[in-house]
A and B are shown apart, each in its own frame.
Chain A
Amino acid sequence: MGFVRSIKKINKQRRPLHHPHLDAEHEPLLASLALNLSKIRQTMGQSSDLIVREILLRQDPLVIQAAIVYMDGLADVKAVQDFILPSLMQHRHSLPSSLLQIADLINEIKQMSLTVANLREITDFTGLFESILSGGTVILLDGAAIGLAVNTEGWEDRNVEESTSQTVVRGPKEGFTENLRTNTALIRRRIKDPRLWLETRTMGQMTKTSVALMYIRELANEKVIEEVRIRLDRVRIDGILESGYVEELIQDETFTPFPTVFNSERPDAVAGGLLEGRIAILVDGTPFVLLVPALFTQFFQSPEDYYQRADISTLIRMLRFFSFFIALLGPSLYIAITTFHQQMIPTTLLISLAAQREGIPFPAFVEAFMMELTFEILREAGTRMPRNVGQALSIVGALVIGQSAVEAGIISAAMVIVVSITAIASFVLPSYNFAISVRILRFLFMGLAASFGLFGIMLGMLAMVLHLSSLRSFGVPYLSPFAPLNYMGQKDSMFRFPHWSLLTRPRLISQINVIREETPPAQKPNRRET
């Protein structure tokens, strides 16, 4: 892996991003309102959505010029009109007129007049811009070098809707939205415990995206939390538009097809992860929440496994593992067996396959490669195209990939079956990004099968298992609880034991507080107290 190391070296040499103009804003507010406003207008470049409303506060004996500043569309105009403007304009000071100072007035407004919940003082332009650009309203008074920032966030948001990427038959239908606060609320509604802690930070020099760390104190491993904090702090990037940015910047290993960070659109899945001692990373602006540490088996699990009966879930999990191998090895096994190991095929099947291959111009590998490629193209087109042309594509796709290719004698019918079952099997995997890695590896295995037969597939599998066991996700071996083998961990990996028997949390994830308090052994049904 010499070249991987060399790429890392290149990355290390890259200089940290530097934004001189951002530092220039880091200056205090001035006492003059006019200067402050002109500075704001100048920095924002006369943007038309910047609203500056100038008002006069008649406070006997003073007449103070004031202004409220907010961004149209980000701030809730109704809140500004209903609460901020009236309370400012109708305020009458209670202090003796002769003693009136500007600072006292601000305090009075703050303490007695403004009927809003979330309010803070700002003293510099950085804070001012941060506040108005995230939907706040800033009140500036002439003669005071402080502003009052009121939280008036009120932009249009998507409602909480059913998650589209991870669907269940039984289970909550709610999915996360793009709003960080909604998302944290969705999780808090599931875990009503004061030990559910939330750490928020801003990431991205330009986007200033809020990124929240969520974990249950006393369950999550403190070392892992610290590691996540360190990795997040290390990130220097100008923009974070989706949690994928964060995922890529904090994951353990870049050069692997396997994801080492789990993502979910479902609050119940994230809550489940938190209860196992994992750490959630929520990024504002995306419904996809990250969960770390992520293990290999986790990508085979759907939240529904815990809502269905244990026996059904176990069978379905096994089905997923089986489908994983079909999706990974289907075409390559077909290639290997039909071109190298014909003696392994039962005679009648062999004759039938041979009959189908009569007159096919390509070797099995080329045939399989063409079909897989066609399918990948169809799938990608299906994901990207506008919804209303979908039908046309599926008709053409079904014709190309199926009947016509066989009837034209270019592809054998058996190959169509193999490619179809492979494609369907890859959709069984509940995690989309894991399914992608299977797609990539499938082509690798096809190449190996075409060159070395089953021997090549075996070599490939060995290499894959070696690679998997070398992976770690935030210090936890990726293949646990299989390697290193953990007896208790088997209860919730390939199998799903009944809830009363899942007494412990995954050992390597939550190294403290391993016993699940909510399931004492006595709660096993049918067990009578004697």
Chain B
Amino acid sequence: MLRKLGFHLILFTLLFSLVGCWSRKELNDLAIAMGMAIDKAEQGYKVTVQVVNPSEIALKQASTMRSPVSVHSETGETLFEAIRKITKVSPRKMYFAHLRILVLSEEVARDGISKVLDFISREPEFRTDFYLTVAKDQPAGNVLKTLTIIEKIPANKLYLSLETSEKTWAPTVALQLDELVSNILSDGINPVITGIEVIGDKSVGQTRKNVETVAPTRLKYTSVAVFKKDKLVGWLNEEESKGYNYIMGNVKSTVGHVNCPQGGNVLMEVIRTKSDIKASVTEDHPRINVHLAVEENVAEANCSIDLLNPDTIDHLQTKAEKIIKSFMEQAIRKTQTEYQADIFGFGEAVRRENPDVWKKLRNNWSAVFAELPVDIQVDVKIRRVGTTNQSLQKEMQE
């Protein structure tokens, strides 16, 4: 009896050794990839991966003077091949679950990003919560090779500054993978991706010297890239990007100024916006109506106007409305005339309004969009004028 019991126990114990701890990876066997950049190579792609050096980042007395990240790149005919090839230069296997940013080169973007995205959205190790960006005028790999100061991990810097600038300065778009894929697949909307630039000396940016100076080589988000389906077709400038975000209701907060009649300007902070895109269809001719409600505070008054006078406030509101409206019109005009890419989702609005008409128009939507009449209504309300009433200039005069 006891022998039988022992036999069962041994069998049970062996069960544990059989599984061999399948898919087990210790933390110090992982190379945690925080940023990935994809460039075109002669054949296929060049993949650059930014890997953190944990002991340099986490430990309090990190003074080994080693770089907080290391960057590996390798080319391959497909993305996956290139990534696996990186193990030739990296001692550890890449671990992509904590990827913060994916930088695509302009070349890859113009060629069509769906080839790249298939692998990334299929591979279970990639999560969908990283941001995408397009490197403007330079190889994407260079973006990952620049060291940054406050955030020791450059990829983290890219992630956080995109997030912050989207929240407080409107022209950037923080776009995550799942949203991008659904925008590409949808007929009624085209995606946009924020662009990024390296400002300053690129060779210095790659050395530790870069983090020892106060005004180093920097990574900067610029305007927004317009895509038609999965192909990059052009860029919006900063004002147009802002207009785009106003239309999309992406603006959480931003600042903008209006000129005073007697010179000088009044700066206003947008604190809340709400946009409403509605389509109306008359005899197969769609028409778009964008209504934007904006709430603002006066943030700076650099001229002698009387802020306590309700008429002045009305005047400022009308002026601000005009400016915001012009941003939006610029954005629409450029996408209609130059790119014929409906990045605003007007097609979606038409589909919601009248699905039958949308069925007729969807195959020809780019052409329809180029001619689409858009009415814009902006409604600005100034809520507060800050902790002082009159501007300093006005008080000085008195």
Residue numbers of A with Cβ under 8 A of B are 2-3, 6-7, 9-10, 338-340, 342-343, 347, 350-360, 363-364, 447, 450-453
A453 to B25 Cα, complex, angstroms: 11
Expressed in whole angstroms, the minimum distance between the Cβ of B105 and any Cβ of chain A is 25
Which of A2, A358, A364 has the most chain B CB atoms inside 10 A of its CB? A358
* Additional 7 contacts, C-beta under 8 A, given A339-B25, A342-B98, A447-B16: A9-B1, A343-B127, A347-B32, A351-B54, A355-B54, A451-B19, A452-B19
Q: How distant is A429 from chain B, measured CB to nearest CB, in Å? A: 28
B58 on the interface (CB 8 Å rule)? yes
Q: Is the interface of A mostly helix, strand, loop or mixed?
A: helix
CB atoms of B1 and A351 under 8 A apart: no
- Which residues from 1 to 45 on chain B have a C-beta closer than 8 Å to any C-beta of chain A? 1, 4-5, 8, 16, 19, 21, 23-28, 30, 32, 34
Give Cα A453–Cα B54 distance, bound, in whole angstroms. 24
A345 and chain B: residue at smallest CB distance: B98
Task: Check A354 against B59 for contact (C-beta < 8 Å).
Answer: no
For the complex formed, measure the closest distance between the CB of A367 and the CB atoms of chain B, giving whole angstroms. 10
A447 to B55, CA, bound (A): 29
* Among A350, A364, A453: residue with most chain B CB under 10 A: A350
3 tightest Cβ-Cβ pairs between the two chains A and B: A355-B58, A343-B97, A355-B54
Query: Within 8 Å of chain A (Cβ to Cβ): is B57?
Result: yes
- A338 and B30 CA atoms in complex are apart in Å by 11
Residues of A within 8 A of B28 (CB): 354, 357-360
A452–B20 Cα distance when bound, in Å, is 9
- Bound form: Cα–Cα A452–B18 in Å: 11
Q: Say whether A342 contacts B95, CB under 8 Å.
A: yes
Provide the residues of chain B in CB contact with A447, threshold 8 Å: 16
In contact, B98 and A363 (Cβ under 8 angstroms): no
A-B contact pairs, 13 of them (CB 8 A): A2-B4, A6-B4, A340-B25, A342-B27, A342-B97, A342-B98, A351-B52, A351-B54, A355-B57, A357-B27, A360-B28, A364-B27, A451-B19
A6 to B8: give the CA distance in the assembly, Å: 13
A451 CB contact (under 8 Å) in B8, B16, B27, B97 = B16
Cβ of A364: which chain B residues have Cβ within 8 Å of it? 26-27
Q: How far is the CA of A479 from the CA of B337 in the complex (A)?
A: 72
Choose from B24, B55, B156 the contact partner of A358 (Cβ within 8 Å). B55
Return the chain A residue nearest B17 by Cβ. A451
Q: How far is the CA of A343 from the CA of B5 in the complex (A)?
A: 41
Instruction: Determine if B5 and A342 form an interchain contact, defined as CB atoms under 8 angstroms apart.
Output: no
A354 touches B27 (CB 8 A): yes
For A451, the chain B residues whose CB sits under 8 A away are 16, 19, 21
Q: Assess whether A347 is in contact with B27, with CB atoms less than 8 Å apart.
A: no
**Is residue B125 within 8 Å, beta carbon to beta carbon, of the partner chain?**
yes
> In the complex the two chains form, is A351's CB within 8 Å of B97's CB?
no
A347 adjacent to B57 (CB under 8 Å): no
Which of B16, B27, B32, B54 counts the most chain A CB atoms within 10 A? B27
Contact B97 A6 (CB under 8 A): no
The answer to whether A358 and B16 touch (CB under 8 A), given A3-B8, A342-B27, A343-B125, is no
Hey, which chain A residues are within 8 Å of B325, CB to CB? Answer: none
Given known pairs A343-B125, A452-B19, the reply for A7 and B1 (CB within 8 Å) is: yes
Whole-angstrom distance between the Cβ of B213 and the nearest chain A Cβ: 25
Residue of B nearest to A344 (CB): B97
Interface centre among B23, B26, B57 (most CB of A within 10 A): B26
User: Taking the nearest CB of chain A, how far is it from the CB of B20, in angstroms?
Assistant: 8
Residues on the B chain within 8 Å of A352, using CB: 54, 58
Say yes or no for B72: interface residue by CB 8 A criterion. no
Q: Which of B's residues lie within 8 Å of A, judged by CB?
A: 1, 4-5, 8, 16, 19, 21, 23-28, 30, 32, 34, 52, 54-55, 57-59, 95, 97-98, 100, 125, 127, 156
- Which residues on B sit within 8 Å (CB–CB) of A363? 24, 26
Q: Are B58 and A356 in contact (CB under 8 A)?
A: yes
Task: Please measure, in the bound complex, the distance between the C-alpha atom of A360 and the C-alpha atom of B28, giving whole angstroms.
Answer: 8
Once the chains are docked, how many angstroms separate the CA of A357 from the CA of B52?
Answer: 14
Contact A10 to B26, CB < 8 A, known contacts A342-B97, A354-B54: no
Inter-chain CA distance A349–B59, complex, in Å, is 12
A357 to B54, CA, bound (A): 9
Task: Please determine whether B59 and A355 come into contact, CB atoms closer than 8 angstroms.
Answer: yes
Are A342 and B30 within 8 A (Cβ)? yes
B98 near A347 (CB under 8 angstroms)? yes
Q: In angstroms, how far is the closest chain B Cβ from the Cβ of A515?
A: 49
Select from chain A the residue with minimum beta-carbon distance to B152: A351
- B52 surroundings in chain A (CB, below 8 A): 351
Chain B residues with CB below 8 A from A353, complex form: 27
Residues of A close to B23: CB separation below 8 A: 340, 453
Roughly how many angstroms separate A111 CA and B27 CA in the complex, as a whole number? 87
Would you call A6 and B58 a contact (CB within 8 A)? no
For A338, list chain B residues within 8 Å (CB). Answer: 26-27
A360 CB contacts on chain B under 8 angstroms = 28
Contacts of A357 in B (CB 8 A): 26-28
Residue of A nearest to B100 (CB): A347
User: Shortest beta-carbon distance, A448 to chain B, in Å?
Assistant: 9
CA distance in complex: A57, B13 (Å)? 77
Residues of A within 8 A of B156 (CB): 347
Whole-angstrom CA separation of A105 from B8 in the bound complex: 73
- Are the CB atoms of A355 and B19 closer together than 8 Å? no
B5 surroundings in chain A (CB, below 8 A): 3, 6-7
Cβ of B19: which chain A residues have Cβ within 8 Å of it? Answer: 451-452
Q: Enumerate chain B residues within 8 angstroms of A9, measured Cβ to Cβ.
A: 1
A354 touches B32 (CB 8 A): yes
- Complex interface: chain A residues within 8 A of B100 (CB): 347
Q: In the docked arrangement, what's the CA distance between A6 and B3, Å?
A: 11
Tell me, in angstroms, the Cα distance from A354 to B52 when the chains sit together: 10
User: CA–CA, A323 to B363, complex, Å?
Assistant: 61
Measured in the bound complex, the distance between the Cα atoms of B176 and A338 in whole Å is: 26
Which residues of the other chain, A, contact B58 by a CB distance below 8 angstroms?
351-352, 354-356
Residues of A within 8 A of B95 (CB): 342
B7, closest chain A residue (CB): A3
User: What is the bound-complex CA distance between A360 and B52, given in angstroms?
Assistant: 18
